Amino acid sequence: MSRIGKKPVAIPEKVQADVDGQSVTVKGPKGELSAVLVDEVLAKMTDDGISVNPRDSSKRSRSMWGMSRTLIQNLVTGVNDGFEKRLEINGVGYRAALNGKELQLQLGFSHDVVYAVPEGIEVTCPKPTEIIITGIEKQKVGQVAAEIRQYRPPEPYKGKGIKYAGEYIFRKEGKKK
């Protein structure tokens, strides 16, 4: 039984939500998002917010219950506050710079890596070794952060590369004589 699914999704004052069958649309100060829920769950507006319930007691509908509630919560959080991921760059000569709608990364390759920032995502570089990715869609923000990190993941010997802020890099000892 889902413990997350039991709680209704609270709708803040600045946010408007609409449930039409299996589609949920949420409008807020940062924009508008919508999602289509799977057929195994039933969403409806209540006084507390949006409540999600399974249609029957099958294993699949119970598994989709909590996930659907979390998807709706992410829509509400996205249009109200937005999501953010921070990346840190470690390494001598490694740096990032924003060039219009493109992120230019110098990561020790013979050429600069140019990453085209997708629509709906904002990237800022307050320092040459820091990248901040913001947007209203949680999945898109995480995907962009993962794609940028994949150009040079942190290595375990010196810790050089791109890592998430707060990520622990397991360090290894170098070879001995």
Pairing status of strand 83-90 against strand 50-54: unpaired
The last residue of a domain, from among 51, 80, 109: 80
CATH of the domain at 124: 3.90.930.12
If you search the block for the tokens 């209203």, which residue do you land on?
136
What pLDDT, in 10s, does the model give residues 61-114? Answer: 988 999 999 999 999 999 999 999 999 999 999 999 999 899 999 999 999 999
pLDDT of residue 1: 56
Q: Which domain holds residue 145?
A: 83-164
Do residues 117 and 93 share a domain?
yes
pLDDT of residue 163: 94
Same domain, 72 and 104: no
Q: Let me know whether 96 and 160 are in one domain.
A: yes
- The reply to whether 88 and 160 lie within a common domain is yes
Q: Are residue 93 and residue 126 in the same domain, yes or no?
A: yes
- How many structural domains compose the chain? 2
Q: Is residue 7 part of a domain?
A: no
Q: What is the mean pLDDT of the chain?
A: 92
Instruction: Indicate if 138 and 154 belong to the same structural domain.
Output: yes
Band the pLDDT of 2: cuts 50, 70, 90. low
138-150 and 59-80 helices, crossing angle to 10°:
90
- For residue 75, being part of any structural domain is answered with yes
- Quickly state the pLDDT bin for 40 (edges 50, 70, 90): very high
Q: Which of 56, 80, 104 is the last residue of a domain?
A: 80
